[in-house]
Amino acid sequence: MPSMPSIPPRSSQPSRPPSQPPPPHEPELPQASRLTRFGSAVGVALVASVLASGPAAMRVTSSLEARGIWPGLAAATLVPMIVSVLTLRQARVGLRAFSLGDGRKRTWSLFLWVGFVFFTLLAFGALLRATTHHHALAGATFAILTGVAAIVLVPISLRLGSIAARWQTENRRVLLAAFVVALLAGALGIMLVLARILPGGASGATPAVSANLVDVLAFAMAALLASRPEFEARRTLALFGPPVAAALFIFGVRYLAASPTIGTTVEQRAPAFGPAVSILAAPDRGQESGSTGRAQQR
């Protein structure tokens, strides 16, 4: 009697059509201890502080009595940068929980949309302030234009964010790096153009406004880049970052304390760094003035 052919058991898992590509998955980064993560945050914040204080250092260095101010400004930026990096790292964890499996696309799209809207607001505000003398009409026009621009920029940001996320998933680092460099170059070009336009007589702004704009944007971009998750498990940053940061901080504070008039120069040419430089340059000045005032009252 002929034997019946055996039927292979049916798999319990549904088969995926051959035309459908496998779902992309994000590579898991190596886990690091809390000490390593904190040390890497200090190390990468050190580099970000040096980069963020560069524009202000170039402006302040033009003064003859402020040569070599860059380490002092970097020291004044170090502690806020460390706090920003740690905060942004935790914010990334929260955003990843609400990303619904497409975190890279949503993150790229969000940052691109915020950047596009921010520079659109700056451009519209400078243009309306320079060409419109009726404040109520300028305010209404600004509100309408910015609302329309915010809506129009959503699909553009989503499209560019999906492209950048796909390049990051496919490890196309050259294209991704060129894309980031193009964005940073465009942002720098817009900042330089606005820095030339804003101090004009028609705009009514002062050079301090342009200086604050450049310094705040430099700090924000440096903090965002420094908070990338790729830097969390870098043992080299965790090992050499804290001692180098401590040495830079001590050297910068001593330089600021040794220059009694440096605070006035920084407040004139880099107002965003003025409070921190004043605190680091003369930490005991407030106590001395307070004791002098009490002595005069007596």
How confident is the model over 125-174, as pLDDT tens digits? 777 777 777 777 777 887 888 888 889 888 888 888 888 888 888 888 88
How confident is residue 31, by pLDDT bands cut at 50, 70 and 90?
low
Mean pLDDT value across residues 274-288? 68
Mean pLDDT lowest among 50-54, 69-73, 229-233:
229-233
pLDDT at 187: 77
Q: Name the pTM for this structure.
A: 0.62
Q: Give first-to-last CA distance, the chain, whole Å.
A: 122
pLDDT at 43: 92
Mean pLDDT value across residues 232-256? 89
pLDDT at 10: 52
Q: How many CA atoms lie within 13 A of 271 on its CB side?
A: 9
Contact status, residue 62 vs residue 268, Cβ threshold 8 Å: no
Q: Considering only CA atoms, which of 42, 53, 34 is closest in space to residue 83?
A: 42
**Largest Cα–Cα distance of the chain, in whole Å?**
122
- Scan for tokens 């935790």, then name that residue: 90
Mean pLDDT lowest among 188-197, 243-252, 254-263:
188-197
Q: Is the pLDDT of residue 266 over 60?
A: yes
How confident is the model over 199-216, as pLDDT tens digits? 454 444 566 777 787 888
Exposed/middle/buried for residue 109 (C-beta within 10 Å: 0-12, 13-18, 19+): buried
CA–CA dist 92, 225 (Å, integer): 12
pLDDT at 291: 47
- Scan for tokens 């301090």, then name that residue: 208
Task: Tell me how far the alpha carbon of residue 144 is from its chain's centroid.
Answer: 28
Contact status, residue 51 vs residue 218, Cβ threshold 8 Å: yes
Q: Token pair for residue 81?
A: 């940068």
- Using a pLDDT cut of 90, give the percent of the chain over it: 12
Mean pLDDT value across residues 237-258? 89
Contact status, residue 53 vs residue 270, Cβ threshold 8 Å: no
- Scan for tokens 């996320």, then name that residue: 165
Angle, alpha carbons 225-231-233 (nearest 5°): 165
51-to-55, 66, 263 alpha-carbon distances in Å:
8, 18, 21
Q: Is the pLDDT of residue 24 over 50?
A: no
- Scan for tokens 């905060």, then name that residue: 87
Q: Is the pLDDT of residue 119 over 50?
A: yes
pLDDT at 293: 46
CA–CA dist 73, 266 (Å, integer): 9
The DSSP output letter for 55 is H
CA–CA dist 147, 132 (Å, integer): 19
Q: What is the dihedral of CA 177, 95, 45, 234, to 10 degrees?
A: -70
What are phi and psi for residue 40, nearest 5 degrees? Answer: -70, -35
pLDDT at 97: 63
Domain boundaries, the chain: 34-282
Mean pLDDT value across residues 75-85? 92
**Residue 78 or residue 297, greater confidence:** 78
**Residue 244 or residue 175, greater confidence:** 244
From the CB of residue 238, how many other CB atoms can be counted at a distance below 10 Å? 23
pLDDT at 287: 46
Q: Is the pLDDT of residue 245 over 90?
A: yes
CA–CA dist 123, 115 (Å, integer): 12
Q: Token pair for residue 280?
A: 């680091």
Q: Is the pLDDT of residue 80 over 50?
A: yes
- Length of the chain (residues): 298
